Chains A and B, each alone.
Chain A
Amino acid sequence: MLNLFGVTFRHGVHPPDSKSLTEHVAVRRMPFPKRLALPLRQHAGKPARCLVKKGDRVERGDKIAEADGFVSVPIHASAAGTVVDIDWWPHPDGSMAETVIIDVAPFSPQVPRPRLVPDWHGLSPDGVRKAVQNAGVVGLGGAAFPTHVKLAPPPDLDIEWLLVNGAECEPYLTTDHRTMVEYPERVHFGTRIMMQCLGVKRAVIGVEMNKPDAIAALERTKPDDLDVTVQPLIVKYPQGAEKMLIHVVTGREVPSGKLPMHVGAVVQNVGSIATIAEIFETGLPLIERIVTVTGPGVVRPSNLIVPVGSPLGDVLDFCGGLTDDAAEIVFGGPMMGSSQPDMRTPLIKGTTGVVVLTDREVKPKQTYPCIKCGHCLAACPVFLNPSRLGLLAQASRYEEMVDLHLNDCMLCGCCSYVCPSNIPLSQMFALGKSALKRKQSAA
């Protein structure tokens, strides 16, 4: 199964990976900002329930909001300070969200309270899930799906594979890359705990081949007593998409409308895995994460450990600010990330990177009529017909789009990337999806 020359999926695109700005820059810790903004909604699922009120003093690592149900995780204070407000605040998804604002105590040593470090040896799956949920862990690859939910497959499903996703196929980002290079033991330790929890015998860490140092580091630190394989992947976007990674490693296709666990696989991002390892090393919850701050519009591109809730402005200031021609700020990678208009917007648990593009990359694009070139069909990794879907979207015929498998679209952006007529296909599909969702909830 292991193929040293790399494996890949069908279709996809080859954007320039642009990772040289930060791929060899060591991770640095960013100082605490003066003020933190911690939205109660940082994960997929139900927002957390606030536990603090205005005027409360909190220590670093204190729980400030608790999980509201199973598909939800708590939020912790990422620095000691005072809750000065609980209000609507700009959120990375473009909306305003209920947010706890904390003024960071200027002279605090920022030492977390004494805490219990959970012992992983022989810990029951339920114990691991509880520890992971209590620590507020979500998928750090961008989707921010609560990790413990993925660790609780229904008992009738047989999980065979743990797939650790180190593909990092988005251009510019080097978050996972640096995690694997600098903390390979943590990746393996987290993998061990996950394997124990899921009861799987095989784990595969998939890494794109533009990260040879990460592959080498993981190979060097590989444990002898576990069946862990480091699988080189051919560099192609979206290799890191869950369905693509599963297909490449296991040869199985996740059926339309089903989850990875239905083909016996659980996928976790390397960052999440390393964070889980940290819980069992230090007992600290998820209060900081590695973020790549990069792009031609940043003066000093860096890989940073950023306290969750740090405002965008502080993070950019720490990286030397913006160049004069900086034109657009994107949270996440340039293929799927979202533009940010506001310097107060916090970096949250799911923020993989901050990419600043300049006038050169974001110059306005003239659109032309569809010339039926078929390039989008040849790019779509789930074999949709984006050209046809686009025509239906323009006519607001959303129900017909569902018949053409709109719901299988991952919004990866490959179709928009290749379209020579600059038709905003994936944007139209996102609109179609949300229009259908609205219609459903109204019905």
Chain B
Amino acid sequence: MAMDARRFELTASPHVKGPDTTPRIMWSVVGSLAPVVAAAIYYFGPSALLVIAATTLGCLLTERGLGPPRALRDGSAVITGMLLGLTLPAGLPLWMAFLGGFFAVAFGKLLFGGLGQNIFNPALLGRAFLQAAFPEDLTTWSAATESWAQLRGDNFALPLMSGDPVAAVTGATPLGQMKFDQIPTETLDLMLGSIGGSLGETAAVAILVGGAYLALKNYLNWRIPVSIFVTVALLSQVIHVMDPTKPDALFMLFSGGLMLGAVYMATDMVTSPTTNGGAWIFGFGIGALVVLIRLWGGLPEGVMYAILLMNSLVPFINRATQPRVFGTGKAVAHE
């Protein structure tokens, strides 16, 4: 037997492996964000690209410098950077965007122990930090300009300096107009994104397409966005019927950061529940909080705080929704 001399692998079962890997999931999310980024660039010009590049660079350099070796390969820092960039206004000074990226990865992820350990969505934590640190720059929303190539604000402001307000091409967001001036916006404009707002909150269709792709690949739990949308739509429609000065369901769904938040932020695997029952509860909580904050809170938009709040409840939601072990308790009928 000539094969006696050969040596063979000894591994534990199973000896075959499914196709999904963590980097593959992460890079698929990055890929699915490409249309959203493209839409942002289409609406906001080169400024959009600059801001997203700055946040992503901030995330990557932080992960490279402070994270474990080879951590860049898993792609999670790129996602954080792109998502953070998409929550920012186009005219934001780049040094602020970069700082947000640093904060998101360093304090949002690495401080907790790195990938998989963080409680809060790093991108949203980065945005919350920027909002607290630079409230004015963060709420200077850009509007459409005469020429596509024109910068939407003082992107190149020097570090530690705020952007020059004269350079900014400002416009109100639909939610701001609604909240402070009671001016509604055309629903079609909301869907297609030709409105004022942050980079990623204007292209609902692109976000839904990316989300559908990820849901089909099982890279996001579709129950979370569905439950958020249903909750927001039902709640706001009921309130709209009772008090017509409040916005209706369609406006609530397609305005602000709800699409981006529901599809890309709330579904972050690390910071959302692991059980399907938990996903429904999590989504319901976010949806209810969004409606509460938008309609009765001091801010025009509440998606960020709604998700961060629910992030903190995930361990409890998980504990409360553990599956019933086979052969214990009440039996279920088979499919």
Contacts and interface: CB of A to CB of B under 8 A. Distances in A.
Interface of A: 7-10, 13, 15, 171, 243, 247-248, 251-258, 313, 316-317, 321-322, 326-330, 334-341, 343, 355, 357, 361-362, 365, 368-375, 377-378, 380-385, 387, 405, 408, 411, 413, 416-422, 424, 426-427, 430
A405 B328 CA distance: 10
Nearest to A247: B334
27 contacts: A7-B335, A15-B16, A248-B334, A253-B332, A316-B3, A321-B2, A322-B3, A327-B9, A328-B11, A330-B13, A330-B15, A339-B11, A343-B3, A362-B11, A368-B21, A368-B115, A371-B269, A371-B270, A372-B270, A373-B274, A377-B275, A384-B325, A405-B325, A417-B18, A418-B20, A420-B22, A424-B12
Contact of B269 (A373, A380, A384): A373
Nearest to B218: A375
A253 B326 contact: yes
Contacts of A417: 14, 16-18
B1 A371 contact: no
Contacts of B8: 326-329, 339-341
A408 B326 contact: yes
A382 B327 contact: yes
A365 B24 CA distance: 13
A9 B15 contact: no
A338 B272 CA distance: 36
A424 to B, nearest CB: 6
Contacts of B334: 7-10, 247-248, 251
A248 B333 CA distance: 9
Contacts of A330: 13, 15
Given A417-B14, A426-B14, A317 B331 contact: no
The majority secondary structure among interface residues of chain A is loop
Contacts of A256: 325-328
B25 interface: yes
B31 to A, nearest CB: 16
| Among A316, A339, A355, A361, residue most surrounded by chain B Cβ atoms (within 10 Å) | A339
Contact of B327 (A258, A355, A370): A258
B184 interface: no
Contacts of A340: 8
A357 B10 CA distance: 11
Given A337-B15, A343-B1, A343-B4, A370 B116 contact: yes
Ordered nearest first, which 3 A-B pairs have the shortest CB separation?
Answer: A413-B14, A382-B326, A374-B274
B326 A385 contact: no
Contacts of B12: 339, 424, 426-427, 430
A328 B9 contact: yes
A374 B269 CA distance: 8
Contacts of A326: 6, 8
A321 B4 CA distance: 11
Contacts of A424: 12
Contacts of A171: 16
A339 B10 contact: yes
A334 B15 contact: yes
Contacts of A405: 325, 328
A255 B324 CA distance: 12
Given A328-B10, A337-B13, A422-B17, 14 more contacts: A326-B8, A329-B8, A335-B14, A339-B9, A339-B11, A361-B16, A362-B11, A368-B22, A369-B114, A371-B22, A378-B276, A382-B325, A385-B322, A426-B12
B335 A10 contact: yes
A257 B15 CA distance: 28
